[in-house]
Structure 1
């Protein structure tokens, strides 16, 4: 794990709220980090690509970063410890890091399924668990990033949909479990969004264009979402204006869920 060491903060500097955002190097994670910082919240961006995280951090003085592979068992504890050492508190955890898997049942490998579960279920579990003492102290908030396909069938990518469905179940169960401690847990479920997920999944440029065109045809508002479309709702659910909202799955998908 690599830490961008901005130095310890003084007690007067540590008064702003603090958020951890995973997958902050691009897409929804980067947009969320910037939206949080713009609202006055210090952000610790987390991801595997230091250069991408550095680009995000350069966009706002309240964004810092740490490189970590959250599939590693010790990484979540180290990330939380970094936030504590730097700012002395933690108020928001955004479990955004993810990957996409398109593979029909007859072709999907055991390793691919295991990796998907680790990234979307095990890593958020470890990070949220590590953050619990701090979130209890701040009566903080957790926002998990699901997908419209977490509650909508997706032939050919069934395991991706399945892990997002599991994350939604965790969201609502954690909301009930942690409510006595004043911790709110919600999820945002984006529809097809302009991001690097499709690129990371290994599709060619022509395939990406075909996928985008096909998606747009299925969306009632006739466009794919932008990272900023999603980030606004993540920040709203994490913030004080939603302090009586917990256990909700907010779908932001241009109306796709209605079909």
Structure 2
């Protein structure tokens, strides 16, 4: 049981964030879920040992207010999971500059703002951070270059922050999931048929022959709460895609 653990999970309304929050709650942790969609957090608001906040992680004021709420309610933060993010799929010739700016604003700047806001708490608890990168940050692919670049930035932030924060006892790692069946694709504008085709195409490139499920990624995120001698790593959880 982890009744003494306080975790903040961004993007907790769906996908990997929700799966991670669910697993932490099952193990007895106190969990605060942040998501840009308050509606998406309804499942969490009905749970014991849980707080929710509708937060746009690109807005410093909203992030600061949400961090203060966690601090007031529970007095500490031990574990931060930066799961909030968006996907951008498109060829170089077609991608819109505004979409690229939004992508980096959420995936890179948002991750930075959240970690900054909770940094004093994490230092005080000698806590841990897990960022969500992607296999495409490690292995080039066609049609989502800018998404891959944003997740490569997250991977390098992870390594740099791990060095910077090690003297404070704060561990920073990242999980790099392969293609996983979440609502990230619908949020990027794919309909069900396009999503299924996209995932099937990706599955054909994965040595284990299938795409992932959110719970499989959440288990690896959860492991990094306890591994006190692991920091600065970007760990692929991708069925072997990154080595194929």
State the TM-score, normalized to the length of structure 2: 0.96
Partner residue, 1:32:
20
- Which secondary structure does the structure 2 equivalent of 1:75 belong to? helix
Aligned partners of 1:199, 1:38: CA distance in 2, in Å?
A: 28
Partner residue, 2:128:
141
Partner residue, 1:22:
10
- Which secondary structure does the structure 2 equivalent of 1:218 belong to? coil
How many pairs align? 242
Partner residue, 1:114:
101
- Which secondary structure does the structure 1 equivalent of 2:48 belong to? coil
Q: Say yes or no: does 1:243 pair with 2:228.
A: yes
- Which secondary structure does the structure 2 equivalent of 1:64 belong to? strand
Work out which of the residue numbers 71, 75, 90 in structure 2 matches 1:84: 71
- Which secondary structure does the structure 1 equivalent of 2:236 belong to? strand
Partner residue, 1:160:
147
List aligned pairs for 1:182-221, cutoff 5 A.
182-221=169-208
Aligned partners of 2:40, 2:165: CA distance in 1, in Å?
A: 33
Question: Where does the alignment leave 5 or more consecutive residues of structure 2 unmatched?
Answer: none
The alpha-carbon deviation at position 209 of structure 1 amounts to 1.8
The alpha-carbon deviation at position 208 of structure 1 amounts to 1.4
- Which secondary structure does the structure 2 equivalent of 1:102 belong to? coil
List aligned pairs for 1:46-125, cutoff 5 A.
46-58=34-46, 60-125=47-112
Partner residue, 1:11:
none
Is the Cα contact below 8 Å between 2:6 and 2:30 reproduced in 1? yes
Aligned partners of 1:56, 1:100: CA distance in 2, in Å?
A: 24
- Which secondary structure does the structure 1 equivalent of 2:99 belong to? helix
For residues 29-64 of structure 1, the C-alpha deviation after alignment (integer angstroms, 9 at most, x for no partner) is 001001111222111000022221111343x42232
Is the Cα contact below 8 Å between 2:58 and 2:113 reproduced in 1? no
- Which secondary structure does the structure 1 equivalent of 2:189 belong to? coil
Is the Cα contact below 8 Å between 1:95 and 1:144 reproduced in 2? yes
Aligned partners of 1:125, 1:208: CA distance in 2, in Å?
A: 29
Partner residue, 1:174:
161
Instruction: Supply the RMSD in Å over aligned alpha carbons.
Output: 1.2
For residues 187-241 of structure 1, the C-alpha deviation after alignment (integer angstroms, 9 at most, x for no partner) is 000000010011111112221121121122111111211110000010111x22x
Aligned partners of 1:65, 1:107: CA distance in 2, in Å?
A: 37
Partner residue, 1:44:
32
State the TM-score, normalized to the length of structure 1: 0.90
- Which secondary structure does the structure 2 equivalent of 1:154 belong to? coil
For residues 82-137 of structure 1, the C-alpha deviation after alignment (integer angstroms, 9 at most, x for no partner) is 11011111111111101100111111111111111110111111111111111111
Work out which of the residue numbers 105, 116, 130 in structure 2 matches 1:129: 116
Question: Where does the alignment leave 5 or more consecutive residues of structure 1 unmatched?
Answer: 1-14
Is the Cα contact below 8 Å between 1:99 and 1:116 reproduced in 2? yes
